[in-house]
Amino acid sequence: MLVKDVMNTNVRTVKKDDAAFEIASIMCLYRINGFPVTDEETNLLGFIAEKDIIHYLFPSLEDIMENMATLDYDDMLDKYGTLRTVKVADLMQTKVITVPEDIHVLRATSIMVGNRFRRIPVAKDNKLVGILSLGDVHKAIFQKYNATNISE
């Protein structure tokens, strides 16, 4: 079973100039935990996940060390409102791990598990062609197992 047999090709993507707050709203509204970031030609530019948005709320280690300040969690929460002026490009990960569509689905799964991902972009020549999630893999294995057992 190959990745191309299991992956989702109807992938919702975002652009690097999109407002981070709008993307965060979509994540919350539709319970999506991340998006590939592409350009108009479907070149994969990065990935933005909920963890990137939450990470934005925290001061950098350098700021903590330089100011020797304690963390004010309420101030950190208030920083969320500034996401309205932040672009996806400011928060996204640009070093994206991808898998090709022609590898075994469990090999791709091992890459996801090893990196603690729930989903991974599928790319060909840096063009996004799909996305593979652990749920997609589980469902495909379940269906294959059930089809095999029914015919016996």
Task: List per-block mean pLDDT (blocks of 10 residues) for the chain, which spans 152 residues.
Answer: 97 97 95 95 97 89 71 84 94 97 98 95 97 96 81 52
Give the CA distances from residue 151 to residues 1, 138, 141, 143, in Å, rounded to whole numbers and listed in that order.
19, 20, 16, 12
Model pLDDT, residue 62: 76
Task: Give this prediction's pTM.
Answer: 0.86
How many Å apart are CA 26 and CA 103, to the nearest integer?
31
Domain boundaries defined on the chain: 3-150
137: left (phi over 0), alpha (psi -120 to 50) or beta: alpha
Model pLDDT, residue 111: 98
Model pLDDT, residue 46: 98
101: nearest Cα among 7, 35, 34: 7
Model pLDDT, residue 5: 97
Model pLDDT, residue 149: 66
Model pLDDT, residue 89: 98
Q: For 3-150, which CATH superfamily applies?
A: CBS-domain (3.10.580.10)
Model pLDDT, residue 151: 52
